[in-house]
């Protein structure tokens, strides 16, 4: 059990960096470095620039955080399946 509770902030991904790191601008105009949580990596949830995310931060280090949720956007749904263009024998 943690000594201190984690702080949660909403923000927007500004830049995608190598090794699963992201530059996130929080709603209170702070820029932080964040990484994707293990469940997001396991389930292959992709995060791109412009996505709204929820970031958990420790009260001891307010410059780094962990992205634990990517909010759904109102964009297009999943792509329809491609037609099969090969001949079966």
Nearest to 26 by CA among 68, 55, 51: 55
pLDDT in tens, 71-85: 887 655 566 676 677
pLDDT of residue 40: 86
Nearest to 53 by CA among 77, 28, 25, 30: 25
pLDDT surpasses 60 at 43: yes
CA torsion sign, 19 to 23 to 27 to 30? positive
Residue predicted with more confidence, 8 or 76: 8
């Amino acid at each position: 059990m943690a000594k201190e509770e984690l702080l949660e902030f909403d923000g927007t991904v500004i830049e995608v960096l190598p090794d699963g790191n992201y530059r996130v601008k929080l709603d209170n105009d702070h820029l932080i470095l964040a990484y994707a949580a293990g469940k997001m990596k396991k389930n292959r949830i992709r995060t791109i620039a412009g996505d709204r995310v929820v970031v958990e931060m420790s009260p001891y280090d307010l410059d780094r955080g962990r992205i634990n949720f990517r909010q759904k956007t109102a964009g297009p749904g999943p792509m329809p399946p491609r037609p099969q263009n090969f001949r079966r024998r």
